[in-house]
A and B are shown apart, each in its own frame.
Chain A
């Protein structure tokens, strides 16, 4: 079946630190992969996506590369800001359905 596994949080970083949030997946087909971000009290916003192996998604300084050989889609950012504090969800899409990871809470302190 399809599933997504994310690293446990919460993650606390100082401003300008390097961020990695690990995500691995299990899929029966050839899924598209996504990172969504949820700020407090809000819905989910698409952060970035990749639709096939070796694609790199990027947005707002965040990057993730679709690695089929390791079934991974790790999220990275070189220098986090306080405004990046949120919950990050890794997700895969197979057909019409999305499968979400459990979410990783990130807090960035000044």
Chain B
């Protein structure tokens, strides 16, 4: 099983809303990642969790708040987003000798 599951697939929210994105994997991977991808651009790294601890924060605004409750689950809490935050948000996980990243299908977020 090399599946990373992201929910929801689509999300529309207003600038005053609070919402959360969820990512789940059951491959025993100990590193999990959040990326933001704009149209026709490569994924941009946002956060990296290693052994459930935040190890990399790429200077992401505080309106994005990650959380890793356990080794299988990664959340991204959203609050007071801006229209320019509309994008595809991708989760990935990796571990082991090869450390290959496996990606979820993403959540397409629209901020109105």
Number of interface residues of A (CB under 8 A): 21
CA A44 to CA B45, docked complex, whole Å = 14
The verdict on A30 contacting chain B, using a C-beta distance below 8 Å, is no
CB of A95, distance to nearest CB on chain B (Å): 9
Q: Which of A42, A44, A49 contacts B43, CB < 8 Å?
A: A44
CA A42 to CA B99, docked complex, whole Å = 22
Query: Judging by beta carbons under 8 Å apart, are B45 and A98 in contact?
Result: yes
Query: Judging by beta carbons under 8 Å apart, are A93 and B99 in contact?
Result: yes
The verdict on B27 contacting chain A, using a C-beta distance below 8 Å, is no
Q: Which of B56, B94, B103 contacts A43, CB < 8 Å?
A: B103
Given contact pairs A43-B90, A44-B90, A49 touches B41 in the complex (Cβ within 8 A)? no
Interface of B is mostly: strand
CB of A94, distance to nearest CB on chain B (Å): 10
CA A93 to CA B40, docked complex, whole Å = 22
CA A105 to CA B108, docked complex, whole Å = 20
- Of residues 29 through 81 on chain A, the ones whose CB sits less than 8 Å from some CB of chain B are 32, 34, 36, 41-46, 49, 51
Q: Which of B50, B55, B98, B101 contacts A98, CB < 8 Å?
A: B101
Query: Judging by beta carbons under 8 Å apart, are B102 and A103 in contact?
Result: no
The CB with the most chain B CB atoms within 10 A, among A44, A101, A102, is that of A44
The CB with the most chain A CB atoms within 10 A, among B45, B101, B106, is that of B101
Across the A-B interface, the 4 shortest Cβ-Cβ residue pairs: A100-B42, A43-B103, A44-B103, A43-B105
